[in-house]
Amino acid sequence: MNKFLKRLPLPLKLLLLILLPLALIIYLTIKIYNEKSDKAELLHGYLNRINQSAIVSDLITNLQAERRASYAFALKRDSSYKPEIDSYRRATDEAIRNLENLKVTTLINFKGYTFLDSLQSARRKIDNGWVADLVMHYYTTSIFRLNTLHLVSAGNNKYLNPVFDALTVEKILNEMVSYLGIIRANFYNALYTKKNNIAMLYGLMGTYDVFKSYERELLIKASPEMAARYTEIRNKTEVKPTLDYLEHTFKKFSFDTIYAAEDWWKMSERATFRLRDYKNELLNSARLKMDAVYASEKQSRNELIILLIIALVIVFSWMIYTSRIISTMLNDLGRAAQKIAAGHTNVPIPEYSKDVLGNLSASIRNIDEKNITLAKTADAIGKGNFNVPVEPRSEKDMLGNAILQMRNNLREFTMEIEKTHENFRLVADAAPVMIWMSGTNKLCNFFNKGWLNFTGRSLADELGDGWIEDIHPDDLDRCVQTYSSSFDQRCDFYMEYRMRRKDGEYRWIGDSGIPRYSPDGAFDGYIGACTEIHEMKLYEQRKDDFIIMASHELNTPVTSIKGHVQLLQSIYEGDDKKISDSKVIVRPSLQSISKQVSKLTWLISELLDLSKIETGKFELYKTKFDPAALVEEAIQEVKHLAPGHTFTMRNGFTGVLYADKERIAQVLLNLFTNAIKYSPGANHIEISLQGNHEHISVSIKDEGIGIDKKDQQKIFERFYRVEGKSEQTYPGFGIGLFIASEIIRRHQGTLGVESEKGKGAVFTFTLPLIKNDGNKLLTDTESVLADN
Ligand code: ADP
């Protein structure tokens, strides 16, 4: 049964909940209605009995009247009684029909046992001269028997209580009237015939005693009002003289002549009427009361049924309404639970009173709130807040405990990752290169300290695509293109671009980028390292420039020589006129060829020296010599090349220098030719030779274009030529000073310049005075070893 009920859908359960009590109520209602109906029927039965009594009483009254008239007729044989007899007979017949019409079970065939079935034959006998005593006997027997059909008291139950007294008194009165009727008739007979008086009185004494006993019973059983009413009738109507006469006669035991027969009959008849009237009065009042009780019972039954129907409707409606409310509440809770089961949060859950549903609603709300708390906690953990408190609801709260465990594991895991990141950052920051990293969206998410120190910008400035601002506008498109296409193909790249340093200068950077992958093989972005290649880049540039310049410089004398050689060829191949002019033409041509050849020789020897320096084959051949004489020789040689210039030599040293004389001469010639070359508007050069016991120093001062401070170091580098309009007009490879500085350096000397732009330059080299070790030939390597 339990299983069956549990399986039933909720609406059916609620319907059963309604229908079962309703069926019970309807069943009880029908039962109560039936009982009420039975009760009303009972009352109706009583009412019928009262009516029956009234009709029986009526019949008895009529029979008594018919008896008296018939008895008088039989006694007197006086046909004048006939109309009276007929009228009583009709009344009697009417009363019998009324009784028959009642059609109650208690009266079925009542005529058979009340002698009324022989009424017609008795009447015929009376009409034919039946003896008066037989007439009296017949009617009296029948009347007595009919008296037994008078209402049998149903007992003093609560329904009959209001009429019980009246019915009891009425019955007693009925008995009294019957007995009085017998006595009256006998007294009439005695007074009329004046015979058998004593014998008759004896015969009637018993009847009179019964009559009086009824009267006593009446006074005992009647209510005070009824007793008073009876006493009033008894004392103030014809009842009094009638009963007084009876009492008087039975006392004396003989009839006196107070009343003639007819007078007695009339008086006693009126007395009988009085009693009968009172009897009918009681019966009527009982009938009215019973009617009222019956009507009220019927009304109460009807009211009951109406009330029950109303109650049923109200109960049914209320139960349907309540069921609907409960069903709605359960449905609401069900829907809320479903939503929560589907992962919703903040589900609106109605608040109910503190019963089962209220507790259910509170529990669901609690689950929702806890879910939200756990979700917020998980969200906070997901966002990296590992200090968020996690409080499992109980030891068995799997979800709460799992989130707690997850938080702790993630905290440890994250700390490890952070440690790894920190280590990476430390390594990256300590690395001598600039490191950057980007994510899968191409945007940069990391720059090391090296990068930030270089650009002088903050990490926030550089992140994303902020780094673009660092790139030289001319390189930007190419740079972005290389980065983007490599990124799309996930391939390594190397690119060079200019990046702005914190001092605002753009420096060449070599940037290598490679794609990054996570342990599970997923692409994570790029990582790249940059190194500054500015110097290398400039060197390359200079080298390129040098090759162009060298080609040009070498090409010019070769073309010139070629022209002069062709000219000389044409002279010697028979052109008489030209031969005659040969002296004029040949000399300058040969001079020009010689000049160009020496220039070529110089250039080629410079290139050879550079090659030797770069391949490590540059050697020194040291000898002892007089440096002052060497300077003088160099001046003379240069003078020859630049006849317009004046040279002033101040010599403050006397001594011998141990060095590679040829190379020192090369240095002097280089410095002299530069002084001449870069002094277009001046023609005076001062040379000073100073020395002490440790070293000598030689200065060459010109009044030329001078050198900017920023270039003063660089001019000693390979291929470096000062950029500028004036400087560019002078031919040169940019290697003279480099070779010179190398020569001096290899002698453990120094070469430097002091100058100001536009105010001439002073080049000074120093050389240590090393003691003679026997004119030994030192290789470059040996020289260096000797120094150390
Ligand atoms: P170059 O063959 O170009 O002269 P150098 O190495 O001899 O090569 O000189 C390097 C550069 O130094 C020159 O290009 C020039 O710009 C600068 N320079 C050298 N000497 C002088 C000077 N006396 N006055 C001004 N500039 C000079």
Confidence of residue 315 (pLDDT cuts 50, 70, 90): confident
**Ligand 1 atom with least separation from CA of 704:** 24
Q: How far is the CA of 721 from the centre of ligand 1 (A)?
A: 7
How far apart are alpha carbons 407 and 380 in whole angstroms? 10
Ligand 1 atom 8: the closest Cα is on which residue? Answer: 734
Ligand 1 atom 19: the closest Cα is on which residue? Answer: 674
Q: Are 374 and 406 in contact (CB under 8 A)?
A: no
Q: How far is the CA of 490 from the centre of ligand 1 (A)?
A: 49
3-state secondary structure of 775: coil
Condensed to tens digits (0 to 9), the pLDDT of residues 387-417 reads 888 888 788 888 888 888 888 888 888 888 8
Q: How far is the CA of 697 from the centre of ligand 1 (A)?
A: 20
Q: How far is the CA of 685 from the centre of ligand 1 (A)?
A: 15
Helix (H) or strand (E) holding 684: strand 684-691
Ligand 1 atom 11: the closest Cα is on which residue? Answer: 721
Condensed to tens digits (0 to 9), the pLDDT of residues 225-265 reads 999 999 999 999 999 999 999 999 999 888 887 888 889 98
Specify the higher pLDDT residue, 9 or 54: 54
Mutate to test the pocket of ligand 1, among 683, 717, 737, 753 (most ligand atoms within 8 A of CB): 737
pLDDT of residue 485: 94
Confidence of residue 581 (pLDDT cuts 50, 70, 90): low
Residue 511 has pLDDT above 90, yes or no: yes
DSSP designation for 520: T
Q: What distance lies between CA 104 and its chain's CA centroid?
A: 81
Q: Are 646 and 774 in contact (CB under 8 A)?
A: no
pLDDT of residue 498: 94
Residue 741 region, left (φ>0) first, then alpha (ψ -120 to 50), else beta?
alpha
Q: How far is the CA of 699 from the centre of ligand 1 (A)?
A: 15
Confidence of residue 788 (pLDDT cuts 50, 70, 90): very low
pLDDT of residue 578: 56
Contacts of 651 (CB under 8 A, 6+ apart): 628, 631, 688, 689
Protein residues whose CB sits closer than 6 Å to any atom of ligand 1: 670, 674-675, 678, 702, 704-707, 715, 721-722, 727, 732-738, 761
Q: What distance lies between CA 553 and its chain's CA centroid?
A: 86
Contacts of 184 (CB under 8 A, 6+ apart): 68, 242, 264, 265, 268, 269, 272
Q: Are 618 and 612 in contact (CB under 8 A)?
A: yes
Buried b (16+ CB within 10 A) or exposed e, 521-546: eeeebbbbbbebbbeebbbeebeebb
Confidence of residue 582 (pLDDT cuts 50, 70, 90): low
pLDDT of residue 787: 38
Ligand 1 atom 25: the closest Cα is on which residue? Answer: 706
Q: Give the predicted TM-score (pTM) of the model.
A: 0.43
- 155-158-160 Cα angle (round to 5): 55
Residue 357 has pLDDT above 80, yes or no: no
Ligand 1 atom 14: the closest Cα is on which residue? Answer: 721
pLDDT of residue 784: 38
pLDDT of residue 780: 41
pLDDT of residue 599: 77
Q: Are 301 and 40 in contact (CB under 8 A)?
A: yes
Q: How far is the CA of 712 from the centre of ligand 1 (A)?
A: 10
Give φ, ψ of 657 to 5 degrees.
-110, 135
Contacts of 545 (CB under 8 A, 6+ apart): 719, 721, 734
Residue 303 has pLDDT above 80, yes or no: yes
Percent of the chain with pLDDT over 90: 38
Q: How does DSSP assign 4-63, residue by residue?
A: HHHHS-HHHHHHHHHHHHHHHHHHHHHHHHHHHHHHHHHHHHHHHHHHHHHHHHHHHHHH
Calculate mean pLDDT across residues 446-451: 93
Q: How far is the CA of 717 from the centre of ligand 1 (A)?
A: 11
Helix (H) or strand (E) holding 512: strand 506-517
For tokens 């080049």, the residue is 763
Question: Encoding tokens for residue 548?
Answer: 């162009």
Ligand 1 atom 13: the closest Cα is on which residue? Answer: 721
Q: How far is the CA of 595 from the centre of ligand 1 (A)?
A: 21
Residue 779 has pLDDT above 50, yes or no: no
How far apart are alpha carbons 639 and 156 in whole angstroms? 177
Condensed to tens digits (0 to 9), the pLDDT of residues 643-695 reads 889 999 999 999 899 999 999 999 999 999 999 989 988 989 999 999 998 89
Confidence of residue 579 (pLDDT cuts 50, 70, 90): low
Specify the higher pLDDT residue, 299 or 571: 299
Question: Encoding tokens for residue 409?
Answer: 């594991």
Residue type, position 700, single letter: I
How far apart are alpha carbons 510 and 499 in whole angstroms? 10
Ligand 1 atom 16: the closest Cα is on which residue? Answer: 722
pLDDT of residue 265: 87
| Helix (H), strand (E), coil (C) string for 157-215 | CCCCHHHHHHHHHHHHHHHHHHHHHHHHHHHHHHHHHCCCHHHHHHHHHHHHHHHHHHH
Calculate mean pLDDT across residues 359-370: 84
Mean pLDDT, the chain, whole residue set: 85
